[in-house]
Amino acid sequence: MLRIEAVSKLFNPGTVDEKIALMNAKLHLKQGDFVTVIGSNGAGKSTLMNIISGVMAPDAGEVYIDNKDVSQISEYKRSQWIGRVFQDPMAGTAPRMTIEENLAIAYKRGKTRGFSLGVTSRTRKIFRDELSRLGIGLENRMGAKVGMLSGGERQALSLLMATFTRPQILLLDEHTAALDPARAELVTSLTDNIVKELKLTTLMVTHNMEQAIRLGNRLIMMDKGQIILQVNEDRKKYLTVERLLGEFEQISGKKMADDRVVLG
């Protein structure tokens, strides 16, 4: 479903600020794989997401979605196959627009040009049904401006918008990191439900080790632009936080330097 082949990315090449963000990264995801991604700060996790979604081009290597090389395809075009939720609750939604207007934008994504942005009674019913799946009462506040919602509500809405058009791939980059623990847990369980229900092929970056172990069927660990460990379904069941951190130390020769790490 998603193949990343020998992707490398260097920032500021040839200067004192040269940074290796990705070095020959290779990753294959099958349809329905839910992969959690952990790693130290600056390991290249967000860069990997940016290259998959087309925000930036790699210096070398290719990205394939469904066996199609999408490396030359724009971020805008890829957005019909890729849903994304960011860390910042402000990033995924338009604050001055209402909940239903935001959903109308998400609904339009990937659809034929000329689809009206107006909310009709038919689309309103679809939106209400989708919102009620979240189970947090947003279906009763469809006319409310999104700027008035809490961070957790906005992330839940962002998640719904990112998955509205049933993308082939869902990318989550620390999407619960800015939330307090209770809201983070709510958005995490919504994520788990949506991913399972829609069988979405998903990459989720998290600093929460317990979450990285509990969610998904696979786990990858990154350091210095490389995927240094892949844990597959059969082994993931037996992982513990201690084992995971131990593996990191053993492979990289250092302790995991992550200023936001949550052990669970």
Residues binding ligand ATP (CB under 6 A): 11-12, 19, 21, 39, 41-47
88/104 Cα distance (integer angstroms): 21
Taking the CB of residue 3, how many other CB atoms lie within 10 A of it?
16
Q: Tell me which residue of 59, 153, 141, 37 sits closest to 99, measured CA to CA.
A: 141
Give the 3-state secondary structure of residue 19.
Answer: strand
Distances 5 to 9, 204, 209, 210, 213 between C-alpha atoms, Å: 12, 19, 27, 29, 25
By DSSP bridging, strand 60-65 and strand 226-231 are unpaired
**Residue 41: CB minimum distance to Mg ion, A:** 8
Nearer to ligand ATP, 21 or 184 (CB): 21
Q: Which is nearer to Mg ion, 9 or 45 (CB)?
A: 45
Partner from ligand ATP, Mg ion, none contacting 19, C-beta within 5 to 8 A by type:
ligand ATP
Query: Distance between alpha carbon 73 and the CA centroid of its chain, in Å?
Result: 19
Cα–Cα distance measured from residue 47 to residue 36, given in angstroms and rounded to the nearest whole number: 15
Cβ-closest residue to Mg ion?
A: 46
Q: How far apart are the first and last CA of the chain?
A: 31
- Closest approach of Cβ 200 to ligand ATP, in Å? 21
Q: In angstroms, rounded to a whole number, what is the distance separating the alpha carbons of residues 86 and 77? A: 19
Least separation, in Å, of the C-beta of 222 and ligand ATP?
A: 6
Name residues contacting Mg ion, limited to 39-78 (CB under 5 A): 45-46
Scan for tokens 């399972």, then name that residue. Answer: 196
In the bound complex, what is the minimum distance in angstroms from residue 22's beta carbon to Mg ion?
Answer: 12
Task: Specify the residue, 46 or 252, whose C-beta has the smaller distance to Mg ion.
Answer: 46
Closest to ligand ATP by CB, 16 or 182? 16
Q: Compute the least distance from the CB of residue 209 to ligand ATP, in Å.
A: 13
Instruction: Pick what 43 binds: ligand ATP, Mg ion, none; C-beta below 5 to 8 Å, kind-dependent.
Output: ligand ATP
Nearest approach, Cβ of residue 235 and ligand ATP (Å) = 23
Question: What residues form DSSP beta bridges with 35?
Answer: 203, 218
What does 3 interact with, of ligand ATP, Mg ion, none (CB < 5 to 8 A by kind)? Answer: none
List the single partner that 41 binds among ligand ATP, Mg ion, none, CB under 5 to 8 Å by kind: ligand ATP
Determine if 176 is a binding residue for Mg ion (CB under 5 A): no
Residues forming contacts to Mg ion in the complex (CB under 5 A) are 45-46
